[in-house]
Amino acid sequence: MTDPLPAPHRPAYLDHAATTPMVPEAVAVLTEMLGRTGNPSSLHASGRAARRVVEESRELIAERLGARPSEVVFTSGGTEANNLAIKGLFWSRHAQDPARRRLLFSAIEHHALLDPVLWLGKEQGADVVTTAVDRDGIVRLDDLRRTIESDPGSIAAITTMWANNEMGSVQPVDEVVAMARPHGIPVHSDAVQAAGHLPLDFAASGLEAMTVTAHKLGGPIGVGALLAVRELELMPLLHGGGQERDVRSGTLGAPLIASFAAAVDVSVRRREAEATRLEQLRARLVEGLVELVPEAIVNGPADPALRLPHVAHVTFPGCDADAMLMLFDARGIEVSTGSACTAGVPQPSHVLLAMGYDEESASSSLRFSLGHTSAADDVDRVLAALPEVHARASAARAVRAR
């Protein structure tokens, strides 16, 4: 797809972990489908045509992600899928057995899962148990094993993300499943960041539920899916027409779903080649950053097998990350801080704090994330701007510290 602006004038976009531009194939499908009419639940010809699109898309997504079509439950995105998974599991399991009150989750979950879990603890009587992570942002399996074995009958569900959105660290999902299976404990994984970058096979994983979303792998914003085994009982969040196995009511958006399927297809087919390309770009970026700023610290696992190929999380001691972000942005370079904002109030990243970093380090970190539109020129522009950006951000921090 042709860039709307020449390379020197278009942004150097290094925030693909937040959202990635749509791939041309997904754009083409969405554009064509938006001209059609039909509610997939209607029985007339237009409705049946829309239903056919939805079901063919469901089959394609299922095939590419190692699931059965009946296991694909469409949602509005990753946040809804995570909420459906954890709330639906807790309410269903707790209703069947009031003793099942515990929810186990890792300390580095995305707010789309962290917040509903904490809400269940505050408002619904769940006993929330956090599993610690190591300095690389990987779940401590010994801690998790002790928690499970201390009272397995009280656990409603376990959730562990597949790959962390800030650090890129890949979690030992298969080992978590192996610990839970003998006790009949369902495991959910937020695979939003992993989809399209790591090999995902829902059936082989042994998970009961897995979250994916379209806009992180080249599809449109506003559509995602919860992959859930047929046997899993989920209490719905939404009640209405009974669509999607009666666990997610609402009119299905055939254009969004078809575009989602196209993006999944493209990202899975190109995954290996693209992972190699992005790993090389990441290496070029990281080597350049450390050469220009020797005190910079590259966070997360050094072993490529333990991290996503497209994410680099870097701490710049003595710098204000928000200042660096804005200085980069003024130069047409778009990156992300390692902090989260709640109600407009900047807060240190809970991920870095869980990994053992102090608040100063957490507020001095940037995330650079690459994607299918990234090229060597984007990396070169970051490295060309870095010396001045770093110098000015360091000076600003020094002035405030006086």
Instruction: Name the maximum alpha-carbon separation found in the chain.
Output: 72
Tell me the catalytic residues.
341
